[in-house]
Amino acid sequence: MTDAGTPQSESDDVEATAGATPLSVSAAATLADRIIENVEEVIVGQHDAVEHILVAMLARGHLLLEDVPGVGKTVLGRAVATSVDCSFKRVQFTPDLLPSDVTGVNVFNQKTREFEFRSGPIFANVVLGDEINRAPPKTQAALLEAMAEEQVTVDGETRTLPNPFTVIATQNDVEPGRTYDLPMAEIDRFMKKLRLGYPDEDEETALLQRVAGEHPIDSLEPVATLDDLRGARATVANVPLSEPVRRYVSRLATHTRNEATLGVSPRGAIALVRAAQARAVLDGRDYVIPDDVQTEAPSVWSHRIDADRAGAAVVETALEAVPIE
């Protein structure tokens, strides 16, 4: 925060996109449209959710998909990752999963008489963490470090993760007695939390037609390169934020803190301005307007709020009560 109370990007913003050549805003917007169209070859009726995932990826964030089983959370994550020609790994979280199963482990090589590091599935550009709330807290903590620092520590040695690095995690909100609730510290690391919901009759009919034979995810091809993604992320990071927009975000955050036991943290405010930057680029603009903030606030902030009512209701009240100046 500045002395005026306006959120600033974290000091590693430049490092996060270092070495990448920014695309023009129009090129980045076209790239996003291309990825969205490709994903919709597989996913039916989830245009907004696909946009939200792309916003999180371009804004250097992570995403949590929560819903009942069978609504397409895993397939959606796979389709987005497949659309970009980058490394992709999937982790199926279970109660007996160890931190080393995620991060990797040092193995003794009898030929060289030395320990060699065998990297875990966390070493990928896009990591799909399936049913993350089934993992025990110690394993969740290993993922937390990776999401927060983009690095992991194994046997005292820190190793940097690939750049870019995005986690798309899923969790089912059924069978709560057989899961481990994510701590607020970990939930706060996710830029966005989404619910997909059931498709309507027309959407489900179209879906059944697509999967009647071979599932379309099996033939999906990449439509973007890793350099494309890095360039688009650099474009988003360079979108300027005017003083009025920064102050608007700060006033919204303050309102949530006054209305809840646990309101939006400064990290949450930073996440919102980054998401607003990405939303501006998706709309073909090189500047952020309050509408971008209002569009992104519900998905970026609702899961960060602890109150006697739903976090989404607190965010909605803030958007209605706080004026744009």
For residue range 148-206, what is the model confidence (pLDDT) as tens digits? Answer: 888 888 888 889 999 999 998 888 776 666 778 887 877 888 999 988 877 778 777 87
Length of the chain: 325
**80 within 8 A of 185, measured Cβ to Cβ:** no
Determine the pLDDT at residue 177.
Answer: 65
Which residues of the chain does CATH 1.10.8.80 include? 1-18+239-325
- The architecture in CATH of the region 1-18+239-325 reads Orthogonal Bundle (1.10)
- Rg, the chain, Cα only: 20
All residues at 6 or more sequence positions from 34 whose CB lies less than 8 Å from its CB, including other chains? 223, 224
Which residues of the chain does CATH 3.40.50.300 include? 23-237
Q: Where are the beta strands (DSSP E) in the chain?
A: 63-67, 84-85, 88-92, 104-109, 114-119, 126-130, 151-154, 157-160, 166-172, 192-194, 224-225
- Dihedral of CA atoms 152, 158, 160, 166 in degrees, nearest 10, equals 10
Determine the pLDDT at residue 257.
Answer: 94
CATH level 3 topology of 23-237:
Rossmann fold (3.40.50)
**7 within 8 A of 1, measured Cβ to Cβ:** yes
Residue holding tokens 């494309």?
A: 228
- Cα 25 to Cα 286: distance, rounded to the nearest angstrom: 6
**167 within 8 A of 63, measured Cβ to Cβ:** yes
Determine the pLDDT at residue 141.
Answer: 83
Q: Which of 210, 211, 91 is nearest to 139 (CA)?
A: 91
Determine the pLDDT at residue 41.
Answer: 86
Helix (H, G, I), strand (E, B) or coil at 89: strand
- Cα 200 to Cα 195: distance, rounded to the nearest angstrom: 15
Angle ∠(209,210,213) on CA atoms, nearest 5: 90
Burial 169-207 (b: 16+ CB within 10 A, else e): bbbbeeeeeebbebeeebebbbbbbbebeebeeeeeeeb
- Cα 195 to Cα 36: distance, rounded to the nearest angstrom: 18
Determine the pLDDT at residue 76.
Answer: 83
Q: How many CB atoms lie within 10 A of CB 9?
A: 15
Q: Peptide bond before 7: cis, by omega within 30 degrees of 0?
A: no
> In the chain, which stretches have pLDDT less than 70?
1-19, 71, 174-177, 212-213
Determine the pLDDT at residue 5.
Answer: 42
The DSSP secondary structure of 171-214, one letter per residue, reads EESS-GGGS-PPPHHHHTT-SEEE------HHHHHHHHHHTSSS
Q: How many CB atoms lie within 10 A of CB 47?
A: 12
Helix (H, G, I), strand (E, B) or coil at 109: strand
Give the distance from CA 203 to its chain's centroid.
Answer: 25
- Cα 203 to Cα 182: distance, rounded to the nearest angstrom: 32
